[in-house]
Amino acid sequence: MFADISFPISSYQVFSYKIPTRLRSKVFIGMRVIAPVRNRKAQGIIVAIKASSEFKGKIREIDSLVDKSPVLNDKLWGLITWLADYYNTPLGVVAKAALPANLSTEYEPRSQLYVKGKIGGEPLADRAKSQIAILNHLSTIDEFIPAGTLGEIVPNALDVCRKLAEKGWVELMEKPVIPDLSGLSLNLIHKEIRFTDYQEQALGQLMASMDRNKFSPFLLHGVTGSGKTEIYIEAARHGLKQNKSVIMLLPEIALTTQISGRFRAAFGDDVALWHSKLSQSARAWTWKKICSGDYKVVVGARSAIFAPLKNLGLVMVDEEQESAYKQDSPDPRYHARDVALMRGKIHDATVVLASATPSMESYYNHINGKFEYIHLPERFGGAKYPKVQVVDMIKESEETEVYGGIFSRSLLDKIQDRLDKREQIILLHNRRGYAPILRCDDCGEVSMCPHCQVALTFHKNGKFLQCHFCNHIQRDLPNKCNACNSFNIKLSGIGTQKVEDELLSKFTDASISRLDGDIIRSGLNISEILQQFSDGDIDILLGTQMIAKGLDFANATLVGIINGDTGLYLPDFRAGEKVFQLIYQAAGRSGRGRIPGEVVVQTYNQDNIVIQCATQLDLKKYYNICLEERQALNYPPFSWIVRLEVRGKSKSGVEVAIDQLKNRFKNIPKSIEILGPAYCYRGRLRDYYRMQIVLKSKKEFDPNGGKLHRYYKSIIKSNNGVNLKGGLRLIVDVNPVSLL
């Protein structure tokens, strides 16, 4: 017996190995094994089992199994093979993403020694003071306690306890240390729910779909505060009654804290939490419990779509429009929303894509009848839409003669009003740090990252400049311009740290917290801050886009958007869509309880159609305008896109390679349009120069994208593939969310 094994390397080859007699009854396709590769042993995955091998050279044997029982069933293995083909990624690399190498069904948590006193034992000498001290302490406790806690009483407590056990004075017991995941969710939130007619109708559609046991994709389009979470929970409850498992995907770790709290309140220990901020022990323990079937519901970020759940019946993707669902690096560069749809198709499951501001692709698929449509047009519990005020910051500056100010007079007044009423405020500013630019006022030179084509951001806490792409830090702040030697260098722009300083100076009695990428060091930090805000211990919550969506706080009655224009003029076809969605979603955090809410949007582009539609909460108008623009320019959702990027540390090498790649494009099909080659907007990142060619294929002539996929693959695989030398690399990005 022989097995073809794929390893997590950038090679499309598989390698043949003998299956030892001792393992023949234990190996299956999709199992992870350890096998010799050259002079080392590596973990790979079995992709085929054969009675004979066509390879004529020396064939080595599989060394051992990583898992004693199959983790992958045929359906999850089918998803992995589809991913490898669709995203043009070696099978072993995809398998590693779905089955991380450091996770195993054989994982055992570390153990901890527990001790309990008992009566009787050998006499103790008077000089055994440490032993006597521990016994005196244990005499007041009638249960096992961690022996390590006795270190406060005597040194070397573990050794002392073992000696006492030998003499018959204590009982010892080893217990596994189960990771405590409770701090990663908000406190359990129990709600009595009375569904609206719209919610009842929505649930009826989803339950009927699950009862049919056939793949059914839905777009759940509910306005902010319409009660989508309640529908998620009841739909999941219906699935569990059918003995089906459920995946709940969320784009931001910040959202997992509140949603997981709601799910745990409903389903208790059946709920697993999964995201990158879990500790390694928590990830290992959770994954093992998922594999064993102890968890029926998984709530998590994009990688949760690979959770090895059995009998999957329901997949829900909250805030499905979010670009965070797209993995930019490393391979595979998948989009979790699209993978969710394919997994649902493979499992004959119901898939719900949900948002108040759907992606253009999902909105278009609904219009064209590919998705069943569920609309929740009203806020839940009688809550009213917030009143939105737009502040023209140009006019504000002219009237106050304060240029570059952070707060308008109106926003300051409303913040103070809410503080006086003991109501809460959420402020959005989608740029972290203190100031995004250090510029010379004489020659205009900007302090740039030495490794990226990106300006360095000044961080006040610690006083350093940092690149937000490669994390390069410069602690020696320049006191003069490197280009013209002028001493007239100044910080420009506004980051969340600067906004926080201004708030602290103006509202000295308020409790203010900031939640952004600089604050978050673990999922626990997020939970602590959001729990404090939920409990009313924080008056003003300031943050980036992670607080702009999905969160539900009844006492938050004012949302302020410091600069509604951030990102508006980036040279990307999705720029306007993203700004619209961010403003619309952030506005939806206000007035979700009984108290009416208000929103203040500060802008320097009051007449821009994106700003107008977003502040008027007019989704239909903006989406129709956006679809017309996309159709005229042949961008998604009217086309399929593949981006071919060549990157390398040699600028000339990248330019030569991209031209050679362009010269391969011959006999171009009618449906395909080619843009480039051209430098990426950020032409250098992490010391790598980047150039790209973009291929667009009209859906009118290529409904499923098959022509585009066959064409680009034929190009990069012809003549034995693209021969890149000197450290150059070809990146294939299928359905990119950005061309930056």
Q: Is the pLDDT of residue 395 over 90?
A: yes
Q: How far is residue 404 from each of residues 87, 232, 455, 503, 579, measured CA to CA in Å?
A: 45, 43, 19, 16, 21
255 or 672, higher pLDDT: 672
Q: Which residues contact 41 (CB under 8 A, 6 or more apart)?
A: 34, 35, 63
Kindly report, residue by residue over 302-324, the tens digit of the pLDDT: 999 999 999 999 999 999 999 99
**Strand pairing of 424-428 and 556-561?**
parallel
391 or 262, higher pLDDT: 391
Q: Is the pLDDT of residue 183 over 80?
A: no
Q: Is the pLDDT of residue 431 over 90?
A: yes
Confidence of residue 126 (pLDDT cuts 50, 70, 90): confident
What's the pLDDT score for residue 607?
A: 95
What's the pLDDT score for residue 409?
A: 97
- CA Rg, the chain, in Å? 29
What's the pLDDT score for residue 71?
A: 80
Q: Average pLDDT, whole number, for the chain?
A: 92
Kindly report, residue by residue over 486-515, the tens digit of the pLDDT: 999 999 999 999 999 999 999 999 999 999
Element of type H or E holding 733: strand 729-734
- H-type helices in 424-553, by residue range? 496-506, 523-534
What's the pLDDT score for residue 573?
A: 96
Q: Is the pLDDT of residue 326 over 90?
A: yes
Q: How far is residue 604 from each of residues 334, 504, 568, 612, 668, measured CA to CA in Å?
A: 36, 25, 11, 12, 44
What's the pLDDT score for residue 608?
A: 97
For 226-238, give the DSSP string.
S-HHHHHHHHHHH
Mean of pLDDT values over 224-247: 95
- 0.85 exceeded by the pTM? yes
What's the pLDDT score for residue 261?
A: 84
At 634, which amino acid appears?
N
What's the pLDDT score for residue 495?
A: 96
Q: Is the pLDDT of residue 522 over 60?
A: no
Least reliable range by pLDDT among 28-37, 391-400, 515-524: 515-524
What's the pLDDT score for residue 186?
A: 63
Task: Tell me if 429 sits within 8 A of 601, measured CB to CB.
Answer: no
CA 347/CA 17 separation, integer angstroms = 31
Mean of pLDDT values over 273-279: 83
- Number of helices (H), then strands (E), belonging to the chain: the values are 19, 30
Element of type H or E holding 602: strand 598-603
Quote the tokens at residue 50. Answer: 């054969």
What's the pLDDT score for residue 53?
A: 85
What's the pLDDT score for residue 508?
A: 96
Task: Tell me if 387 sits within 8 A of 599, measured CB to CB.
Answer: yes
What's the pLDDT score for residue 523?
A: 56
Closest by Cα among 731, 723, 704, 711 to 338: 704
In degrees rounded to 5, what are phi and psi of residue 482?
Answer: -70, -20
Query: How many CB atoms within 10 Å of residue 676?
Result: 18
Burial class for 12, CB neighbours closer than 10 Å (0-12, 13-18, 19+): middle
Confidence of residue 527 (pLDDT cuts 50, 70, 90): confident
What's the pLDDT score for residue 434?
A: 96
Quote the tokens at residue 111. Answer: 């153990």
Q: Is the pLDDT of residue 116 over 90?
A: yes
What's the pLDDT score for residue 532?
A: 93
What's the pLDDT score for residue 526?
A: 81
For 387-423, give the DSSP string.
EEEEEEHHHHHHHH--TT-S--HHHHHHHHHHHHTT-
Mean of pLDDT values over 318-345: 96
Q: Is 45 helix (H, G, I), strand (E, B) or coil?
A: strand
Residue that is written with structure tokens 């009675």 in the block: 51
Q: Which residues contact 194 (CB under 8 A, 6 or more apart)?
A: none
Mean of pLDDT values over 476-483: 91
What's the pLDDT score for residue 181?
A: 66
Task: Tell me if 350 sits within 8 A of 314, measured CB to CB.
Answer: yes
Least reliable range by pLDDT among 164-168, 177-181, 355-359: 177-181
Residue that is written with structure tokens 């582009």 in the block: 605
What's the pLDDT score for residue 365?
A: 96
Least reliable range by pLDDT among 184-188, 230-234, 593-597: 184-188
What's the pLDDT score for residue 353?
A: 98
Confidence of residue 192 (pLDDT cuts 50, 70, 90): low
Residue that is written with structure tokens 């359906």 in the block: 75
